[in-house]
Amino acid sequence: MDNNDLHKWISHRADMLYVCLKSLVLLTVGTAIVVALGDLSDSGALSLSVAVGAIGLLLWFCAFGAVMDIAAMRDDMSGDLKTSAFGSQFSKAPFPVYIGLTTIVMLGVPVMLIIALNN
């Protein structure tokens, strides 16, 4: 793969991660406002809990896919890029740790929001 194409794909997937994080922040702020207002019935809390869970799962799938794609792109680097300072650091990046952190954040926040909605 050409280095410019590789850069474009990694940039695209990184932008997707950024959108997922912004969406998670908006989901958290919106749920916090609803909890702060406190005018939610039991059926409303259940409905919002299901929506928060579904959105959180969707955001996790998108973020997980983006991290996995970026990790897979390490194999597509050209020889010149692999021997550069960027390429050597990119090859050593701990992507299993990134996947674990993505899972904890993207699934943990919706779980905490659902707990906050139902208490």
CB count within 10 Å of CB 35 equals 15
Question: DSSP code of 84?
Answer: S
Mean pLDDT of 32-37: 86
pLDDT value for 10? 86
Mean pLDDT of 74-80: 82
Mean pLDDT of 82-90: 85
Residue range(s) defining the domain that contains residue 62: 3-117
**Integer angstrom CA distances of residue 66 from 17, 27, 53, 55:** 6, 20, 20, 17
pLDDT value for 107? 92
Mean pLDDT of 90-113: 91
Q: Which helix or strand (DSSP H or E) is residue 44 part of?
A: helix 42-72
Structural domain count of the chain: 1
pLDDT value for 108? 94
**Integer angstrom CA distances of residue 50 from 53, 54, 55, 114, 117:** 5, 6, 9, 8, 11
Residue-averaged pLDDT of the chain = 88
Mean pLDDT of 89-118: 90
Q: Which of 115, 98, 12, 13 is nearest to 56 (CA)?
A: 115
